[in-house]
Structure 1
Amino acid sequence: MDLLQAVVLALIQGLTEFLPVSSSAHLILVSVFTGWEDQGLTFDVAVHLGTLVAVIVFFRQDLLTMGGDFFRSLTGKGHGPGSRLAWAVILGTIPVGLAGLAFRDVVANHLRDPLILACGLIFFGLLLGWADWRRRGERTVYSLTWKDIVVIGCAQALALIPGTSRSGITMTAGLFMGLSREAASRFSFLLSIPVIFLAGALETRHLLRQPEPVQWELIGLATLLAGISAYLCIHYFLKFIRTVGMQPFVGYRLLLGIVLIWMYW
């Protein structure tokens, strides 16, 4: 791997991890246009670590509140808003964890076709657009009910389908359940923490079984760039959707899906 490849892939991973546009679609397009070889598991683990650190740093105050309330609830001192949100994140992660264990090989071996990716971009993009257009909810993340958690958690499991976008489908479900744009996005980002951690742990497990030479300088740079770009992405995305909404991302998904169909039909 050379410097250009490391920089481009790290920035794409950092920017698209949290936007509702499907990071897998962009990585496929990069490989098509550049012909670069697979970046390897070490690189994947590194950029996932970068994005994980970014979301933890950005939501550090929320996470401290959630953690404190959560442990107080375990000692019988009652539930606060933070503990309920912490439980929502934990329980909302279960469906995608179970789906990942059950269907990981099916997805990896049979659903990586670019046309399936294009259909996922278009269909779930239209669904996001509909949810954003028809709902103007004002509920916050602290108003989540068990029904909300089940719906959003099960929706997150659909992200195994290429082109869906984990952040996109969880935001869509949140909007349908009456959350505000910002609340749906914030819960989606909080849900990403255990998902990214588990995905990175799984990749690390495979990495330990298949040692490969490590270019530490490039890996370190990629981790840093992925983290910085992901942090900035979260910051400006939350500002952007307050006034503009999701429709620009819907249009972008439709265009990207059409491009993939044109390329591979």
Structure 2
Amino acid sequence: MDWFQALVLALIQGLTEFLPISSSAHLILPSQVLGWPDQGLAFDVAVHLGTLMAVMAYYRRDLVAMIGGAGQAVTQRTMNDDLKLGLLVVLATIPAVLFGFLGDDWIERELRSALVIAVTTLVFGALLWAADAFGKRQFSLVRLGIVGAIFIGLAQALALIPGTSRSGITITAALALGYQREDAARFSFLLSIPVILGAGLLKTKDLIEQQLAVDWGLMALGAVVSAITAYLTIVFFIRLLERIGMLPFVVYRLILGIALLAWLA
């Protein structure tokens, strides 16, 4: 992988990680369509680190509040909204961890193809449209409880399938439950923090065990570019969400899915 390819892939990671269009699909497609070499484990670690830094920076106040809420709960021996939100994030993460542990190897071996991406892009794009169009969009995160968190967490587990989109499927689930767009996105993005952190740690462990050669320059480029791009993407997505809704992303997914099917035909 050369510097140009690294720059493009880092931009793709930053742009697509938090938009409901599937970052995994867009990172697979250059090798499938353009014949680019696989970006490698080290670069995966770098761009995941970049997007993790971006979402933690954007939601730093929520993270500080959840930590403070835990401390307050210990001293006052009572539940509070900040601790509750943190516990629901942890609870909703469990299904993805379990499904990832049980099926990740099979998914990596059998489902990383342009055909799977085309189908999931279309199917889950349609579900996103339905949830956005027919969801009540009247609840805030204060109303979220254990059942809702588990439902969103189970939806997140489906994002292990390339083309699904982790943010897309969790926002879809939250919208289907009747949550407002911004609250659906907020919970989705908070939910991404333990998921990205866990995936990054596992990839780092594999990288150390395999003792692969690391191009530190490319890794630094990937981390910095993906971090800046992801942060700006979150900022603009949240600001425009109520105004534009999910339809532009649904249309993009439909165009991408149909184009892939045509390319495969």
Tell me if TM exceeds 0.5: yes
Q: Which amino acid aligns with 1:183?
A: D
Describe how 1:149-188 pairs up with structure 2 within 5 A.
Answer: 149-188=149-188
* Distance change >3 Å, CA 32–CA 113, structure 1 → 2: closer
Partner residue of 2:36? Answer: 36
Partner residue of 1:94? Answer: 94
Unmatched runs of 5 consecutive residues or more in structure 2: none
Displacement of 1:74 in angstroms is 4.1
Percent identity (aligned): 51
Displacement of 1:18 in angstroms is 0.5
Q: Is the counterpart of residue 11 in structure 1 residue 8 in structure 2?
A: no
In structure 2, C-alpha distance between the alignment counterparts of 1:208 and 1:147, rounded to whole Å: 38
Partner residue of 2:48? Answer: 48
**Alignment TM-score, normalising by the size of structure 1:** 0.97
Root mean square deviation of aligned Cα? 1.2
Partner residue of 2:77? Answer: 77
In structure 1, C-alpha distance between the alignment counterparts of 2:93 and 2:81, rounded to whole Å: 19
Partner residue of 1:204? Answer: 204
In structure 2, C-alpha distance between the alignment counterparts of 1:237 and 1:115, rounded to whole Å: 28
Q: What is the CA deviation profile of residues 103-145 of structure 1, one whole-angstrom value per residue up to 9, with x for unaligned ones?
A: 1111011112321111100001000000000013122222211
In structure 2, C-alpha distance between the alignment counterparts of 1:219 and 1:260, rounded to whole Å: 30
- Contact residue 32 and residue 114 of structure 2 kept, 8 A: no
Displacement of 1:76 in angstroms is 5.3
Q: What is the CA deviation profile of residues 5-40 of structure 1, one whole-angstrom value per residue up to 9, with x for unaligned ones?
A: 111010100110010001122122222343221111
Partner residue of 2:243? Answer: 243
Displacement of 1:71 in angstroms is 3.0
Partner residue of 1:259? Answer: 259
**Alignment TM-score, normalising by the size of structure 2:** 0.97
Describe how 1:86-235 pairs up with structure 2 within 5 A.
Answer: 86-235=86-235
In structure 1, C-alpha distance between the alignment counterparts of 2:262 and 2:74, rounded to whole Å: 54
Q: Which amino acid aligns with 1:217?
A: G
Q: Which amino acid aligns with 1:138?
A: Q
In structure 2, C-alpha distance between the alignment counterparts of 1:46 and 1:232, rounded to whole Å: 18
In structure 2, C-alpha distance between the alignment counterparts of 1:262 and 1:126, rounded to whole Å: 19
- Contact residue 32 and residue 113 of structure 2 kept, 8 A: no
Q: Which amino acid aligns with 1:79?
A: M
- Contact residue 28 and residue 112 of structure 2 kept, 8 A: no
In structure 2, C-alpha distance between the alignment counterparts of 1:174 and 1:133, rounded to whole Å: 13
In structure 2, C-alpha distance between the alignment counterparts of 1:111 and 1:35, rounded to whole Å: 18
Deviation larger for 242-251 or 70-79: 70-79
In structure 1, C-alpha distance between the alignment counterparts of 2:229 and 2:170, rounded to whole Å: 21
In structure 2, C-alpha distance between the alignment counterparts of 1:32 and 1:19, rounded to whole Å: 21
Could you say what secondary structure the match of 1:214 adopts?
Answer: coil
Paired positions, count: 265
Could you say what secondary structure the match of 1:7 adopts?
Answer: helix
Could you say what secondary structure the match of 1:56 adopts?
Answer: helix
Could you say what secondary structure the match of 1:257 adopts?
Answer: helix
